[in-house]
Amino acid sequence: MFKNAYVITGSVASGKSQVCRFLRENGFKIIDADEISHEILQICKNEVVSNFGKNILSNGKIDRKKLGEIVFSDPQKLRVLEGILHPKIRDEIYAQAKELELLNSPYFVEIPLFFESGNFDDFKNVIVVFAPKEMLISRLMKRNNLDEMSANSRVALQIDIEKKREMANFVIDNSKDKSHLEAQIREFLAQISKPFKCFKFNANGNDFVIFSSDKMGVFNETARQICASKTGIGADGLIAICQNPEFDFEWDFYNSDGSPASMCGNGARAAAMFAYKKLKKGKRLKFKTGAGVINAQILDDISAHECLVEILFTTPKILQNEFEDFGRKWEIYDTGVPHLVTFVQDLNEFDVELARKMRQKYNANVNFAQSGETLRVRTYERGVEAETLACGTGMAACFFANFRRNEQKRKMTVIPTGGDRLNFRLEEGRIFYSGVVRETFEANFFIKES
């Protein structure tokens, strides 16, 4: 079933195209069955001509007006034409609907003969654009330059508009002027606008909006809207927690600019707490990310809104050993996503312009690290395109780079810009990372269609 689809139907001259035009102008996606049928008609030209004769051709193409004069005056011939076209039209409509379902937002399918065809059982939300029969006939006479008898015959070929109104889930009245119709459409849109239930979690300076989804989707635009600081909730990233029968869950992670990311250390700890608190998963969790499978553990259920969470990163990779650029020595590691690391004597040497240049040149996050009894880190994150208060994979990369400089340091406290003291340890080549995660609020967010 296509749960995000809304079929627009009605009768000839009821105003379906006007409704679709308004919706399209307001940013909604429309699947147009008429447009598809025009394409299918030409694709099936040979079969149609063999049934209705060469007289329907003009300049090598089927003349729809000539064909219409034949089928609209003979119900039997109309059924023959529908038998040729409708299965192919249905297949194309379904193919487009499957693509639009991935956006996880409302879209519309204009199917003039929805009830007559009986071929679209997977669409459950049906809008009838209504006008009284007398008005339909009057409009059709004026629009198509028909006499009253011809217009009445065409209207009579379809199920009565009053019956269609009874069969609909929603009715948009188009019996008055344009302003009335637009008010009716807006009223309908208000009915189907559903709040987006989400939760905000803070993991040591990084904040994430998290929600549960029954499937992986395409949430780039959702991420941009929700993560915007002035017009949305404001966050470093958006995380969709999705079902996966092989794991506790699978995640779909987006940076605040809508770009997807394979891994985020602080996001992973927040996602684990969400699954434990909201989805009632166990304290030991295993979930799938773009970087691989992550293991997590709730070490301490501190309160209703706080947990001490530890994750086990995927095995760190050395992407590039020490090299020089812009007068500094750098290394590149992959701890789920790529990170540049440079060691400094003083973290005040952090240079945001240099970090931005290095991020663009190497398409990696950029970390300045100061090593001592503790490891202090400042990170410029791609996707956020700014320095953040903390970055789990960035701290992990710095921790691993520091271990390679001094193998005694298998266990360290790492302090990011936000000032939290976070625990890292290395066991059998794998990095463990723990810290407190806090749920800050839950909200209903209304996604703006674009």
Alpha helices per DSSP H over 125-264: 133-144, 148-156, 161-167, 178-192, 220-227
Options 20, 264, 307, 398, the catalytic residue: 264
Contacts of the segment 354-358: beta carbons below 8 A, 24+ positions apart = 354/326, 354/328, 355/380, 355/387, 356/380, 356/385, 357/326, 358/325, 358/326, 358/330
Q: Which residues contact 70 (CB under 8 A, 6 or more apart)?
A: 52, 56, 77
Render 321-346 in DSSP notation, one character per residue.
Answer: EEEEETTEEEEEEESSSEEEEEE-S-
Active site residue 391: yes
How many Cβ atoms are within 10 Å of 39's Cβ, its own excluded?
Answer: 12
Active site residue 264: yes
- Going by the DSSP 8-state scheme, the letter that residue 179 receives in this structure is H
Residues 244 and 288: beta-carbon distance below 8 Å: yes
Nearest in space to 240 (alpha carbons), one of 259, 262, 257, 217: 217
How many Cβ atoms are within 10 Å of 346's Cβ, its own excluded?
Answer: 9
Q: Which residues pair with 435 in a beta bridge?
A: 309
Residues 290 and 263: beta-carbon distance below 8 Å: yes
Residues 249 and 85: their CA atoms lie apart, in Å, by: 43
- Going by the DSSP 8-state scheme, the letter that residue 422 receives in this structure is E
Render 343-401 in DSSP notation, one character per residue.
Answer: E-S-GGG--HHHHHHHHHHHTSEEEEEEESSSEEEEEEETTTTEEES--HHHHHHHHHH
Residue 302, token pair as written in the block: 């501190």
Alpha carbon 445 to its chain centroid, in Å, reads: 15
Residues 347 and 370: beta-carbon distance below 8 Å: yes
* Active site members: 264, 391
